[in-house]
Amino acid sequence: MKRFLILALLAVCALPVHAGSVLLTGSSPSLQLNLEADREFGRITRLGWDTEGTNRAGTNLLKAPVELRVIRGGKALKAHVHVDTPNPETVRCDYSLAGGKKVVWEVGVQSDRLRMQVSSRDDLSKGVDRLELVFPFEPTTAVTCVIADNWTADGRFTLPAILNAPDLGQMLVTQTGQPALTGRIEGSRSGKWVTVTLEFPVSAQGLSSCLDFTPVVLPRPAGFSDERQWEAARRGWFNLIELSCGASGGNKEVMGTWANNVLSDPVSSVLYMLVDAALLVPELAPGVSMPPILRRTVEYWMDHKTNGDGLIAYTAGGTAAKDAPDGKNTFESGAQSVMDGNPAVLIGAWGYVKASGDMDWLKARIKGLESLSAYMERHDTDGDGLIESKQSGNSGSRPPRDPDCAWDCYASGHKNAYVNTMAYRAWRGLAELEGRLGRTEQEQRYRQQADKLKAAFLPAFYNAETGWLGFWRSRDGVLHDIWSDAPTSYAINYGLIDKARGREMLERYWSALKKTGFTRFDLGVPVCLRPVPREEMEAYFDFKQFLNGGCCVSNTSYLLNALYAVGMTDEADPILNAMLKRQKDGAFPNGGGFQNGFVDHMGLGAEVFDWDGNPAGYEGHLVYCWAFLHSMLLREPALRERVYGNLLQAGSIQR
């Protein structure tokens, strides 16, 4: 079979060239493109790109060839295809249909883009339903997804949209010509496939549509001055933005909502991370921005995953547990009772309004937001200001599997420090939203709710033996300190602990970290510094594995934020610099530093590491890992003010 190869490169790379192929060299500093097609069937058999000039374009993103399909009655018609190369930069595929009708698909490489044109001079409306340009991506190589901010009710997206290939690059897809197309993304978690399909309507007037695929290179955000660090981070910034294709439950409504990765779970509890990303870099490319993505995700959780009690489910495939009529907490098989989902979605709503200024949306949604808060308020069962989880948190109290928060391997419950930091940020944000609406009484109410929580927080969770915060206080009164910085770091970031007290706590933590002998700061830091007792974990792992002391990457971002907030720059900088170097250089064949494609197998995913740097996760790609890039920006006072300003104004972190 004869093949031809088209390459647009910044510099000539040592890539294999098949017999009968054509090699092109371009001059764009922002795009390397590797495209190979077969002459016999007119299909693209290899496709790879690199938007940072690091010679990664040789990585093939495809699971099967890209092809143009002529659809009738839900099936692809057979057509005779003639392939030609009218010039060294262009491949032309002519499809001959019944009745002498023709469709032309041209693929051309220019110095700064890939261009595809689909056209026909004939009336295709009789005998053809639509044309489909199909891109079958290989998620085990890279979890390529669509980033779009305009989705229809039936789960389709419109252009412009970004094709996001993690750690390889992002291509903005735009259309000129008529008629306007729509796209869909489908996938299978068990089958490990993702397919993006662009649908061209047909009409009696023929078809003339041009698609441009151009590289997306994020400009350095205003307020951040380190160009070298931004260059190391900007391509990886998109790794946190993966939108669901519905493969893990949720029906059509979940399409386009933020998820662990395109094939994995959307999770309500961690929506605050998307908020931070949206506030720091709201515009991704011309016509694609973060606020609509955030809004769609918030609305999904509010409209489709909130039960009659006002509790939000943990995952798109799950169901929120109902409160028992007698007020007692009973385990409901298959139901979810996380207490950080409600505050995370409230933070999401606050972030959307702050980023967009959409007051009409806020007016329409304020009652629903108050309902989410009301659930949290009812679960301050003893009236001390802290919300209590349904789970007791007592040692040995679980299984069955029933986590109370996103740290879902621990047997945490009752008064959870992490859950309450989320609640504090949520109530501060809700108070601000009420203030925007001029609802002074409600604004004051939520400020008082936050103040009451803050007053009770430190006495409930401070561990005098270690000098930092424990993770949860169980119903039997025991404080469970798993030697994790997370409760302390979040409390500092969100203003529950002042700068002086926070520094004292982190200095104690840093001393304990050094005593462990841990040095692999390119992986971040361990999620805890000593083994978690078996009876305090729902899903137990050996020490230095997964949530029992593994390096989860994402946990490090909040430690970095806290270290910078209290002035421990000498401790924070080496961690951030090491992680940025790993992110830029890559560690796996697909160029990933903290991802090795879609794995879905415990112990093999590169979103968690043991202390020697061996993969110890299961996803392979977990969006939370790249929150540490936010920490790079949040060092700057103006950017920190943008994200945490309403918390800083509460008088907690001294600037």
For residue 192, CA distances in Å to 137, 186, 264, 588 come to: 10, 11, 11, 19
Give me the sheet containing 3-8, strands edge to edge.
3-8, 32-38, 43-50
The stretches in the chain having pLDDT less than 50 are 1-27, 651-655
Contact 257, 244 (CB under 8 A): yes
The pLDDT, as a whole number, for residue 325 is: 78
Segment 198-209, tens digit of pLDDT: 999 998 888 999
Domains of the chain, CATH where assigned: 3-215 (2.70.98), 227-648 (1.50.10.10)
- Please identify which residue in the block is written with the tokens 């908020």: 275
Cα 539 to the chain's mean position, in Å?
24
In angstroms, the CA 152 to CA 296 distance is 11
Tally DSSP H helices, then E strands, for the chain.
13, 28
At 607, list the tokens. 């979103």
pLDDT digits (tens, 9 = 90+) for 419-448: 999 999 999 999 999 999 999 999 999 999
**Residues 234-293: tens digit of each pLDDT:** 999 999 999 999 999 888 999 999 999 999 999 999 999 999 999 999 999 999 999 999
Give residue 308's pLDDT. Answer: 96
Range list of H helices, 437-485 = 440-461
What pLDDT was estimated at residue 15?
43
Nearest to 471 by CA among 406, 426, 516: 406
Closest alpha carbon to 430 in 402, 414, 404, 453? 453
**What is the model's pLDDT at position 407?**
97
**pLDDT one-digit tens code per residue, 501-551:** 999 999 999 999 999 999 999 999 999 999 999 999 999 999 999 999 999
Please report, for residues 136, 163, 182, 184, 604, the alpha-carbon distance to residue 140 in angstroms, rounded to integers and kept in the order given: 12, 16, 26, 20, 12
